[in-house]
Structure 1
């Protein structure tokens, strides 16, 4: 376990750093004495620059632009000399029933939530591999635990992110590079206020009303600083997990979904096993 007082400062590369969880992660890293490359679609000079001076480098970055991502990573390494922790936090959310999504709306969810993280991961890997160290943290979501009405496309993009990241973790481990997937529950960020929505279909009016009733009943979100504190513990660990759940609600939901899936699999075990019976290959040379 790393102790900040005894180790030299580390350098972070954080996307979506100007607000929400990204800003909380940036603040936490700077306040412990580390260096941060804060990348976001629009960077506005603020109090962080004044308080932390040359330990903070802000870069405008659209993560869907692969060439721009490579340039930003190159600039970051040239400026600080190295990267230690990479946090793929940039993301968008679009609400809507699956049937309602246009092609452009569906692709946009994946462009940011999957491909943005992919481009950053690809850009930093040569540097981290050469150093034989580093930690890539993918910020996923409670939505990756399962698909839910009206957040299905968002869930799909986060499922894809996690599948890619699981493979990345195994590929990068051979070079001493760690990969973790963080699955947060609800936090008071502007994700909900900045999200977009599909054009609603009347066919789903009843379901929408029921969902609105459930949401009105309320969910209590947490302060982003709590997620940042958990992230610091994650990156300080000598043996960080592949997955980290953030929040009691997401923790309980993860176990509930897993139990229900296991019960279903067990109930259909005979059908599953009967679908496999290995036979020799046919049609080849004898």
Structure 2
């Protein structure tokens, strides 16, 4: 149910209005809290918004929550219309809803693959389509697409997750070109690992095949000592991006993630150079 729809409370003319999907945990929740603490207003959605109840009480009138399944296109369009009616505009739209599909590519079922893309890619597409008319009418707005540091390179056991984020990146780059003439900004955010619950609450796992046992053990050892930072560390940086007159089109979140993305880009460049002669012979 929609809560706290009083638009007169804490509604400073200078505050931004955020629309955040997947806001009940992780980066979405951290960003919701940071925006509210900074004096902005937020429409926060998720399939289950009950974890946001304490924030709703703390920021009465500035935070509105309602349930939304972004994989349902009709529900998304209705939800965006509902969100605009609350505060009269949208300034920042954060496509954060998503989950992790964990398992080897051979193991992924058709149902798992379709459900994963319905949320991680098509959900972001539906939200993007739904908000564009409002942002275009305003002549302003900033769309933040929550991608991943791994979107530029596939990796064992998370290949489908990376594929969905790669699709989101490509769509968002084209969308940025389409929306620039209307004064609408698009930024692709590429976070590394954060302590968001993605690997627990947000994960769908495949049925494991024995043939991949050795590879799984290798990956487990590789990730054993990983300590993910708190998503609260990323929220102020994202708010800084929103405040910029000319924000970056793409931003990696996290120092370790930045180093790894640079390493992947260098490796890809070297691989391209290795095949240069053959590429040129092909026409």
TM-score normalised by L of structure 1: 0.92
Deviation at 1:267, TM superposition (A): 2.1
1:148, 1:7 → 2: CA distance?
Answer: 46
Partner of 1:90: 97
**Paired residues of 2:150 and 2:261 also in contact (CA < 8 A):** no
2:83 maps to 1:73: no
1:52-67 → structure 2 map (5 Å cutoff): 52-67=59-74
**1:135–1:179 Cα contact (<8 Å) kept:** yes
Work out the number of aligned pairs and report it: 270
Give the deviation of 1:82 after TM superposition.
0.3
Structure 1: stretches of 5+ with no match in the other structure: 1-5, 277-286
2:140 is the counterpart of 1:150: no
Number of the residue aligned with 2:42: 36
Which residue of 246, 265, 278 corresponds with 2:272?
Answer: 265
**Structure of higher CA gyration radius:** 1
Q: 1:15 aligns with which of 21, 33, 54?
A: 21
CA distance in 2, matches of 1:214, 1:10: 42
What does the per-residue CA deviation read over 1:155-174, in whole Å, with 9 as the maximum and x for residues that have no partner?
A: 01111110110100110111
Given that 2:73 and 2:126 are in contact with CA atoms closer than 8 Å, whether structure 1 keeps it comes out as yes
**8 Å CA contact retained: 2:99, 2:116:** yes
Unpaired runs of at least 5, structure 2: 1-11
Distance 2:138 2:53 in 1: 33
Name the SS of the counterpart of 1:73 in structure 2: helix
Shift of 1:7: 7.5
Alignment of 1:100-249 (within 5 A): 100-194=107-201, 195-216=203-224, 218-249=225-256
Determine the C-alpha separation between the residues in 2 that align with 1:193 and 1:143: 19
The equivalent position to 2:58 in structure 1, one of 43, 51, 58, is 51
- Distance in 2 between residues matched to 1:151 and 1:250, nearest whole Å: 16
User: For 2:20 and 2:189, how far apart are their aligned partners in 1?
Assistant: 14
Q: Tell me, in whole angstroms, the C-alpha distance in 2 between the residues paired with 1:267 and 1:143.
A: 23
Offset at residue 214 of structure 1 (A): 1.6
Q: RMSD over aligned Cα, in angstroms? A: 1.2
Task: Give the Å deviation of 1:205.
Answer: 1.1
Using the size of structure 2 for normalisation, the TM-score is 0.93
